[in-house]
Amino acid sequence: MSASKRNKGKELLKKIIITLVSVLIMGIALSVLGIIDEGMDSFTYMNISISDSMGWSLGNWEILLNVILFIPVIIWGRKHIGLGTLFNMTLVGYTIDVCSWFWSKTDIAKWIEILPLRIAIMLVAVAIFVFAAAFYMSTDLGTSPCDALPMMFSERFIKIPFKLVRFLWDAILVLIGFIFSGKVGIVTILMVLFLGQTIALVRNWMRRGTYNENE
């Protein structure tokens, strides 16, 4: 095997590990936000609202919904599919389930009753989630069906700016979640307004750093 092929193999393995770890960290951060109970990203918020009303585990519901959403991605958006797609589809929901079960066995809920500590943990969890999501997307190993669908709509069908499509998409998810749960946390609202732009800024910063290192 040539040195070039070995280097490509090592780089691919590095990307796979980064993607896997990032997805798991996203799930852990979201489980902490679940304890804070001030909301999370629009897709997870909607899924928790629906799964709770149905008596399902979040992981099982997300698997079912992701498989349904995956169908149009296979037909019209195959460039968005990769290992990252499968990791996100299968691991985030179950990671939240496992971590939430673990948190329920601790006294963490009592600790976060102190408002300053509650706010601090919330901000740290949001920051960790944003950075993990940026790392996961920066590897270019595919995105979740939920992230791929608004990209597809913007590219192939609607021909309007992606930022607007993404905002409308997130707003619809939040509306569905609100119908099932009857409440929306401040974190969910802030993520709808700023998550996409924040992740884009972090990704650009990371890629510039990687480029400069390679130079």
Q: Write out the chain's pLDDT in tens, 215 residues.
A: 566 777 888 899 999 999 999 999 999 999 999 999 999 999 999 999 999 999 999 999 999 999 999 999 999 888 999 999 999 999 999 999 999 999 999 888 778 888 888 899 999 999 999 999 988 888 889 999 999 998 888 877 667 777 888 889 999 999 999 999 989 999 999 999 888 778 778 777 766 655 444 44
Q: Residue 169 corresponds to which tokens in the numbers above? A: 């998409």
Q: How distant is the alpha carbon of residue 170 from its chain centre? A: 12
* pLDDT recorded at residue 127: 93
Spatial CA neighbour of 156 closest among 167, 146, 148, 144: 148
CB 92 within 8 A of CB 44: yes
Match 């884009």 to its residue by tokens.
200
Domain map (residue ranges) of the chain: 10-214
- Burial of residue 29, with CB atoms counted within 10 A of its CB: 0-12 exposed, 13-18 middle, 19 or more buried: buried
161 residue type, one letter: P
